Amino acid sequence: MNVPLRTWILLVLVLGAAVTTVLPSREPTLPGMLELAVLRGPGDLATSRALTPLADYLGLSLRRSIRVRVVAIDTLTNRTDFDLALLPARLAVTHPTSDILAWSKPRGTGAADTRPLMVYRSGTKLASIALPRVIVGDASTFDPAKVRGWLQAQGVDASSGAPAFGHNPYDHSEALAALVHRAFDLAVVRESDLRVALDSGLVDRTQYAYLAVAPSAQGFALVAGPDLPTAARRKLRDAALNLDHLRYDPSSLRARGVLEAMGNLGLDGFVPAEILPSLRP
């Protein structure tokens, strides 16, 4: 008995529909191009060059292209539609639509934490400085209100008005250089940046003193936007954390290239945002 062709076609379609009801459905389709929003640092071009290898590497885990978008702090603070972002801790923990995937490590450290330090000339009595000129590493890392409280807790007269701020959220050497050139009396910077400045000779360790003004805190967080599917977040988190393992793999040239480029912004890979990230759904 000859069966019409369209009958066979209908049979195949019915069987296909039946199979799809048994097999698990795929994750939601992502757009063809995702964006990694980052703060403007040493310049749009320099910032983009430093983070584009990271965006390309993360994109491989999703089989999607990820484009770096350099934005100003007010733009990033108000945005709720980003796919991925690299946010300072102060913004990451307060942004209502972001999910922290991993914390970045400052260059030259093994952890994500770094302390805020007050740096000043050796032999200076802080309480004796009348109307001190204060510069802070940048306006996104430290809350200006907290900086004022830190100064007052150390006996520094903070009534002279708002402090000045450096322009690069990834590197506080600008503020340290201004202190060294005597444009300011005090500088509040990350400990990791001071270490680099001491090692490079920018700051003479025999001429300057420092003290911690607050407990250690994280630097930057890789965060996912609200519309990124759960499965995609898991892949991105795993890819970011794998950088730390692949740095020791001699065959992983891509990972080493990513870390080398990130190093231009003082970043050295990522660490987990929780104790056992593999147990996270």
Average pLDDT, the chain: 84
For each of the domains in the chain, give its residue range(s) and CATH number, in order of start.
Answer: 33-109+218-279 (3.40.190.10), 116-214 (3.40.190.10)
Global pTM reads 0.80
Q: Would you call 249 helix, strand, or coil by DSSP? A: coil
121-139 average pLDDT score:
88
- Residue 27, pLDDT score: 45
Task: Identify the CA nearest to 50 among candidates 111, 104, 11.
Answer: 104
Is 47 in contact with 73 (CB distance < 8 Å)? Answer: no
Buried b (16+ CB within 10 A) or exposed e, 218-251: bbbbbbbbeebeeebbbbbbebbbbbbebeeeee
Tens-place pLDDT, residues 34-53: 999 999 888 899 999 999 99
| pLDDT over threshold 60, residue 277 | no
| pLDDT over threshold 50, residue 22 | no
- Residue 15, pLDDT score: 66
- Residue 213, pLDDT score: 92
Tens-place pLDDT, residues 91-103: 887 666 668 999 9
Tens-place pLDDT, residues 107-118: 776 677 889 999
| pLDDT over threshold 50, residue 258 | yes
DSSP 183: S
8-17 average pLDDT score:
63
- 276 — phi, psi (to 5°)? -120, 80
- Residue 110, pLDDT score: 66
- Residue 77, pLDDT score: 67
| pLDDT over threshold 70, residue 28 | no
